[in-house]
Structure 1
Amino acid sequence: MASARSVSPGAALLRTSRMFSLPQALPQPHREGSFRQSETATEPYPTRQIISTTSLSRRTGDWGLKRPLPLRTTTKTTIPMIKVNQVDSIESVTDFHPATDHGMSLRKFQEMNIPITVPSNKGGMNMPKKSVFEDDFDFTALGQKSGEQATDDMDMRWKFKGPWLAGLTDGEMQKYLETHVRSRRSEFRKFLKGKLAKEINESAAREAKDKGEEAPAAQEVDASKITDVELTNFLRRLRDDRPRLYKLVSQFLDLAPIGPPAHSADMWKKDYTQAPLTLKVGNPYAKEGPPITHPSAGLSYLRTASYLENNPLYGPQAKRAPVEARVVAPRHGNGARGAKLGVGGFVTNVPGGDSTFNMSRVSADIRHERTPGLERLDPSIKGGAKVWVEPLFATVNSKGQTIVTVGETDNKSPDIAKELAGGEALQIEEKPVQRSTHNWPVRSRGRELGASVIGSSRTYGLKPEDLAFEK
Structure 2
Amino acid sequence: MALHRQSLSPTANLLRNSRLFSLPNPLPRPPVSETFGAGISKASDSATLPYPTHQAITTTKSSLARGDWGLKRPLPSRSHLVQVSDPVLRINQLDTIEHVTDFDSAADHVRTRQKWEEMSVPMMKGMTQMRDYDLSGTPPSGAFEARDDTTSYDTEMGLDEAGLYLRALKLNREKNQAAERKTPKALETDRRKAIAAEQKAFQAAQKEKWEAKKAEWDALGITGKDRPEELKAFRVKAREERKAFKKASAEQNSPPPAPFSPFSPPPVDPIVHNTKRWKHEGPWLPGLGAERFTEYLAKEISKRRGEFNTYLVEFVKNEIYTTRRLAASKSGKTAPMDIQEAEVWHQEQERQWALITNDEVKEGIKALRKETANNPLGSKLVTKLIMPFLKLPAIKFKYKAYAADASSRDIDQYQFDQETAPLSTHPSAGLGYLRSKSYIANHPILGPQSSPSPIPARVIQPRTTSTTKEVYARLGVGGFVANDQFRSTDTSSGSRANISNARDVETIDLDTVGGKKVLVQPMFGSVTNDGRIHIKLKRSSGPEVQVARGELDDKPPMREGFDSDPLRNLGGTAKSGIKELDEQSARAKQLNSFLDGMNLQDKAV
Q: Confirm or deny a common fold (TM above 0.5).
A: yes
Partner of 1:467: none
Distance in 1 (CA, whole Å) between partners of 2:556 and 2:313 is 79
Partner of 2:76: 70
Q: Is the 8 A contact 2:459 2:515 kept in 1?
A: yes
Specify every segment of 5 or more residues in structure 2 that has no aligned partner in the other structure, as ranges: 1-6, 165-271, 326-342, 373-378, 401-415, 567-605
1:144/1:327 CA distance change after superposition, 3 Å: same
Computing the radius of gyration from Cα coordinates, the structure with the larger value is 2
1:244 aligned residue (380, 385, 393): 380
Note the 1:55-66 alignment, pairs <5 A: 55-66=61-72
AA aligned to 1:312 is P
Q: TM-score, normalised by structure 1?
A: 0.68
SS in 1 for 2:429: coil
Residue-by-residue CA offset, 1:291-321 (whole Å, 9 max, x unaligned)? 2111111001111111111112111111122
Q: Is the 8 A contact 2:32 2:44 kept in 1?
A: no
Q: Is the 8 A contact 1:256 1:286 kept in 2?
A: no
Residue-by-residue CA offset, 1:329-383 (whole Å, 9 max, x unaligned)? 0111152342100001000000147xxx875368xxx999826861111211112
* Length, aligned pairs only: 385
1:367/1:379 CA distance change after superposition, 3 Å: farther
Note the 1:188-267 alignment, pairs <5 A: 188-196=304-312, 198-199=314-315, 232-242=362-372, 243-247=379-383, 248-259=385-396
Q: Does 1:398 align with 2:535?
A: no
Distance in 2 (CA, whole Å) between partners of 1:395 and 1:189 is 39
1:190/1:352 CA distance change after superposition, 3 Å: farther
Q: Does 1:130 align with 2:141?
A: yes
Residue-by-residue CA offset, 1:384-418 (whole Å, 9 max, x unaligned)? 11000011000000111100111021242123124
AA aligned to 2:515 is G
1:173/1:80 CA distance change after superposition, 3 Å: closer
Note the 1:298-313 alignment, pairs <5 A: 298-313=430-445
2:553 aligned residue (401, 416, 427): 427
Partner of 1:23: 24
Distance in 2 (CA, whole Å) between partners of 1:431 and 1:397 is 43
Per the TM alignment, residue 254 of structure 1 is displaced from its structure 2 partner at its CA by: 3.3
Q: Is the 8 A contact 1:324 1:343 kept in 2?
A: yes
Note the 1:5-154 alignment, pairs <5 A: 21-31=22-32, 35-73=41-79, 74-121=81-128, 128-145=139-156, 151=164
1:202/1:228 CA distance change after superposition, 3 Å: closer
Q: TM-score, normalised by structure 2?
A: 0.54
AA aligned to 1:340 is R
1:329/1:236 CA distance change after superposition, 3 Å: same
Distance in 2 (CA, whole Å) between partners of 1:431 and 1:340 is 35
AA aligned to 2:366 is R
AA aligned to 2:368 is L
Distance in 2 (CA, whole Å) between partners of 1:114 and 1:294 is 16
Q: Is the 8 A contact 1:137 1:157 kept in 2?
A: yes
Distance in 2 (CA, whole Å) between partners of 1:324 and 1:348 is 13
Partner of 2:235: none
Per the TM alignment, residue 236 of structure 1 is displaced from its structure 2 partner at its CA by: 1.0
Q: Is the 8 A contact 1:394 1:404 kept in 2?
A: yes
1:121/1:320 CA distance change after superposition, 3 Å: same
2:422 aligned residue (275, 282, 290): 290
Q: Does 1:323 align with 2:455?
A: yes
1:321/1:39 CA distance change after superposition, 3 Å: same
Partner of 2:501: 370
Distance in 2 (CA, whole Å) between partners of 1:241 and 1:204 is 15
1:285/1:91 CA distance change after superposition, 3 Å: same
Distance in 2 (CA, whole Å) between partners of 1:31 and 1:346 is 14
SS in 1 for 2:481: strand
1:337/1:148 CA distance change after superposition, 3 Å: closer
Q: Is the 8 A contact 2:20 2:71 kept in 1?
A: no
Distance in 1 (CA, whole Å) between partners of 2:499 and 2:313 is 71
Specify every segment of 5 or more residues in structure 1 that has no aligned partner in the other structure, as ranges: 221-225, 264-283, 420-424, 439-471
Distance in 2 (CA, whole Å) between partners of 1:124 and 1:373 is 22
Per the TM alignment, residue 204 of structure 1 is displaced from its structure 2 partner at its CA by: 11
SS in 1 for 2:123: coil
Distance in 2 (CA, whole Å) between partners of 1:368 and 1:192 is 61
Distance in 2 (CA, whole Å) between partners of 1:86 and 1:369 is 52
Partner of 1:343: 477
SS in 1 for 2:312: helix
Q: Is the 8 A contact 2:283 2:393 kept in 1?
A: yes
Distance in 1 (CA, whole Å) between partners of 2:380 and 2:144 is 31
Per the TM alignment, residue 111 of structure 1 is displaced from its structure 2 partner at its CA by: 0.7
Q: Is the 8 A contact 2:21 2:70 kept in 1?
A: no
Per the TM alignment, residue 100 of structure 1 is displaced from its structure 2 partner at its CA by: 0.8
Q: Is the 8 A contact 1:285 1:291 kept in 2?
A: no
Report sequence identity in percent. 32
1:368/1:120 CA distance change after superposition, 3 Å: closer
Q: Is the 8 A contact 2:523 2:538 kept in 1?
A: yes
Between 289-298 and 147-156, the greater mean CA deviation after superposition:
147-156
Distance in 2 (CA, whole Å) between partners of 1:60 and 1:92 is 19
Q: Does 1:360 align with 2:491?
A: yes
Residue-by-residue CA offset, 1:430-469 (whole Å, 9 max, x unaligned)? 5778699x9xxxxxxxxxxxxxxxxxxxxxxxxxxxxxxx
1:148/1:161 CA distance change after superposition, 3 Å: closer
Distance in 2 (CA, whole Å) between partners of 1:315 and 1:58 is 41
Q: Is the 8 A contact 1:371 1:387 kept in 2?
A: no
AA aligned to 1:65 is L
Q: Is the 8 A contact 2:151 2:277 kept in 1?
A: no
Between 229-238 and 72-81, the greater mean CA deviation after superposition:
229-238
SS in 2 for 1:76: coil
Distance in 2 (CA, whole Å) between partners of 1:402 and 1:4 is 47
Per the TM alignment, residue 52 of structure 1 is displaced from its structure 2 partner at its CA by: 1.6
AA aligned to 1:66 is K
SS in 2 for 1:245: helix
Distance in 2 (CA, whole Å) between partners of 1:182 and 1:75 is 51
SS in 2 for 1:71: coil
AA aligned to 1:410 is S
Distance in 2 (CA, whole Å) between partners of 1:384 and 1:114 is 25
AA aligned to 1:360 is T
CA-based RMSD of the aligned residues comes to: 4.4
1:406/1:124 CA distance change after superposition, 3 Å: closer
Per the TM alignment, residue 428 of structure 1 is displaced from its structure 2 partner at its CA by: 5.0
Q: Is the 8 A contact 1:327 1:384 kept in 2?
A: yes
Q: Is the 8 A contact 2:454 2:520 kept in 1?
A: yes
1:110/1:350 CA distance change after superposition, 3 Å: same
Between 319-328 and 113-122, the greater mean CA deviation after superposition:
113-122
1:83/1:405 CA distance change after superposition, 3 Å: same
